[in-house]
Amino acid sequence: MTQAADEKTSVAVPGDEKLQKVLARAGIGSRREMERAIEAGQVKVNDKIAKLGDRVMPQDKIFVNGQRVVLRSELTRRRVILYNKPEGEICSRSDPEGRPTVYDHLPPLKGERWISVGRLDFNTSGLLLFTNDGELANKLMHPSSVIDREYLVRIQGEVTDDMRTNLLKGVALDDGVARFTDIVDGAGEGKNRWFYCVVMEGRNREVRRLWESQGVKVSRLKRVRYANIFIPSHVRVGQWTDLTEREIQDLCMTAGFDSSTYTRMMEPTRDEAAQRERHDKKLRAASAAPRRPKVPVRKRPPIVE
């Protein structure tokens, strides 16, 4: 009788979901991160410390590290924004040294938080993606997705054909063999040349370490592409822009992310669409070439006879 009762209570009832799935959808982190947080006792449900395997209902109150989590329904609005990171910003939410962070310049979210899709070094600039969907962020960063990341790099030192061959075949680094899948010449001549190079992983300082393994130095590094997303010409350094619904869908397809498994897309409301359009117009207007001021026509002085 007791065993039958236990089996009956373990069956999911309509409307209840696994706790880690709810937290991931709320943008707190990936499911794996939430599972670790639950195991560490950092999550409470209705003032009780949660345990792995707990299921929750929409009316339950959930806290992570003492902060109330605003729950999102299955029918949700997924956002992805592109940020053109300058050099001199860190990708952490806060810094003991007081350095500026990338989160200082992102638009606010109500009851959610932006999750960074990968990171860039302090001295690396360029394309960073942020989303409010923890599952999508996790999928985009996972090595199994095999997503290419393209960088523009300036090299100090002579780059030979043998070096290129080594970098394309693979180089043994401290954390395993790494390689570029493509290297294309950019601008410059001599010992200060630019190259476009592509990696398929997001290891720490991978691009710099690959070039440094060949005895040359990276003096500038900028990420210019992530999967099918490029930096728009009108988004200057330190600015952000929303990806369109089509771009988000293409990004999900590239990552092999079945969005219907986790959340169903909602179209932006009319007000949200208008707000995004105003922001985009503002960026384009700021990046447009300044107009020449009109010079007033000089009137000839009257002829005095």
User: pTM to 2 decimals?
Assistant: 0.75
Give the span between the Cα atoms of 109 and 180, in whole angstroms. Answer: 36
Encoded tokens for 32 = 């794996």
Q: Indicate which residues carry an active-site annotation.
A: 121
How far from 162 is each of 43, 158, 191, CA to CA, in Å?
Answer: 53, 11, 16
What's the distance, CA 144 to chain centroid?
17
pLDDT at 1: 38
Scanning the chain, the segments in alpha helix (DSSP H) are 2-9, 19-25, 31-39, 134-141, 161-169, 206-212, 245-255, 259-262, 270-287
Q: How far does the chain reach from its first CA to its final CA, in angstroms?
A: 123
pLDDT at 260: 60
Task: Give the DSSP per-residue string, 161-223.
Answer: HHHHHHHHH-EEETTEEE--SEEEE-S--TTEEEEEEEESS--TTHHHHHHHTTT-EEEEEEE
pLDDT at 9: 32
Give the span between the Cα atoms of 130 and 34, in whole angstroms. Answer: 18
Q: How crowded is residue 175: how many other Cβ atoms within 10 Å of its Cβ?
A: 11
Read off φ and ψ for residue 18, nearest 5 degrees.
-65, 140
Give the span between the Cα atoms of 114 and 101, in whole angstroms. Answer: 13
Cβ partners under 8 Å of residue 23, min gap 6: 29, 34, 37, 43, 62, 64, 69, 134
Tens digit of each residue's pLDDT, the chain (305 residues): 334 333 333 333 446 888 988 887 776 777 888 999 999 999 999 989 999 999 998 888 999 998 888 776 554 678 899 999 999 999 988 888 889 999 999 998 876 788 899 899 999 999 999 998 877 888 888 888 889 999 999 999 899 999 999 999 999 999 899 999 999 998 767 678 999 999 998 888 999 999 999 999 999 999 999 999 999 999 999 999 999 988 998 998 888 887 665 555 566 778 878 888 888 888 888 877 555 566 565 555 666 65
pLDDT at 273: 80
